[in-house]
DNA sequence: CTTGACCTTCCACTTGCTGGAACCTTTATA
DNA sequence: TATAAAGGTTCCAGCAAGTGGAAGGTCAAG
């Protein structure tokens, strides 16, 4: 399989796949023309990575998860710990954004948004 | 005022203040010793930037907001548009994170997290 | 007079890709 | 058969928004 097809089937851009090779996630064989030649296993790995990234796991966490995925003797506790950590991180980010949202939506709601210069948004940002 | 005091009073790290000078947000004078010498106006600007960044505005948006802040003839509509765009962006991020959170929290909840290898998290990531 | 706290600049690194240039190979079409 | 389009290759640069660290200058206190 050439990179284009893998890209289509995995949903990842070809650029990203090359990058994932760079950082050691996959190691496709090479044809005589120098083209990468991916197998089904590579495709499966890349799809795995795409989903893990889609759930917000960092590249390093993906590395760990991939290793656990391929380790038949893993303990699910190890997987769960990584996932729980990511979940906590996501919760923290949501909380941060909710806090911003709270302040900002209030400010936006109280700004007239007309041609006059008076603006509660700037007043808030510029408060002493 | 030296950078240390400005850092303390603005809540921004000295490194960040130097960076903000680099990108043209402030232009402190220099003493004979080469030290930056900040005035109250600089401090106020930096605090403004700190709050704007804290509400999730990008550096470029901060630039726009700062210009509007200093423009007595501004229209609040211009401020509101920038803020509304940021609010939309925040909402999009929250939605993305909520979606991740939904899937991930379900997976975490169903994972035994013990010494056995069976793991719904990896099963989901590795699904065909 | 030395110690330690500040200050300076400059360069590299972070995360996770993405864009583009310059070039080669394969495939489809005139 | 010539050529053009569509794929592939490598490598370098850049994004956001700083952060860390090295190497060095300066200032106040003991």
- DSSP string for residues in A66-102: HHHHH-TT--HHHHHHHHHHHHHHHHHHHHHHHHHHH
> How far is it, in rounded angstroms, from Cα A73 to Cα B116?
8
Alpha carbon separation from B121 to A51, A69, A82, B1, B63 (Å, rounded): 11, 10, 10, 54, 43
Contact flag B125-A65 (C-beta cutoff 8 Å): yes
The minimum CA-CA distance between B74 and chain A, rounded to whole Å, is 5
Q: Is the pLDDT of residue A128 over 90?
A: no
Residue B6 contacts residue B42 (beta carbons within 8 Å):
yes
Residue A87 lies in a domain: yes
Residue A62 CA to its chain's centroid (Å): 10
Count: domains in chain A: 2
One DSSP character per residue, A11-63 reads ---HHHHHHHHHTTS---EE-TTS-EE--HHHHHHHHHHHHHHHTT--HHHHH
CATH number for the domain including B43?
Answer: 1.10.1660.10
Q: Which residues of chain B have pLDDT under 50?
A: none
Whether residues B85 and B41 fall in one domain:
no
Distance, CA of B84 to CA of A1 (rounded, Å)? 46
CA distance B78 to B46: 21
| Window B:63-92, CB contacts with A under 8 Å | 65, 68-69, 71-77, 79-81, 83-84, 86-87, 90-91
Residue B12 in domain: yes
A59 touches chain B (CB under 8 A): no
Calculate how close chain A gets to B108, using CA atoms only, in Å. Answer: 6
CA atoms within 13 A on the CB side of B109: 6
**pLDDT attached to residue A1:** 96
In a domain? residue B66: no
In terms of residue numbers, what domain contains A128?
75-128
Evaluate if the CB of B24 falls below 7 Å from strand D.
Answer: no
Angle at A25 between CA A22 and CA A28, to 5 degrees: 75
Among the listed residues A1, A93, A69, the one whose alpha carbon sits nearest the alpha carbon of residue B56 = A93
**Two tokens at B66?**
């700062």
Q: How far apart are CA B83 and CA B90, in angstroms?
A: 10
How do residues B25-53 score in pLDDT, each as one tens digit? 999 999 999 999 999 999 999 999 999 99
Quickly give A42 CA vs C29 C1' distance in Å: 34
| Shared-domain flag, residues B53 and B102 | no
pLDDT band for position A101 (cuts 50, 70, 90): very high
Structure confidence by residue, pLDDT tens digits, A51-98? 999 999 999 999 999 999 999 999 999 999 999 999 999 999 999 999
pLDDT reported for residue A46: 98
């Amino acid at each position: 399989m050439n990179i284009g097809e893998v890209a289509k089937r995995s949903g990842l851009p070809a650029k990203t796949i090359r990058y994932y090779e760079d950082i050691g996630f996959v190691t496709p064989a090479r044809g005589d023309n120098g083209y990468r030649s991916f197998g089904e296993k590579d495709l499966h790995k890349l799809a795995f990575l795409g989903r893990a990234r889609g759930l917000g796991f960092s590249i390093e966490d993906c590395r760990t998860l991939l290793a656990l995925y391929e380790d038949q003797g893993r303990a699910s506790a190890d997987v769960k710990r990584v996932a729980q950590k990511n979940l906590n991180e996501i919760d923290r980010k949501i909380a941060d954004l909710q806090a911003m949202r709270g302040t900002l939506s209030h400010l936006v709601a109280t700004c007239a948004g007309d041609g006059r210069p008076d603006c509660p948004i700037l007043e808030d940002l510029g408060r002493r």
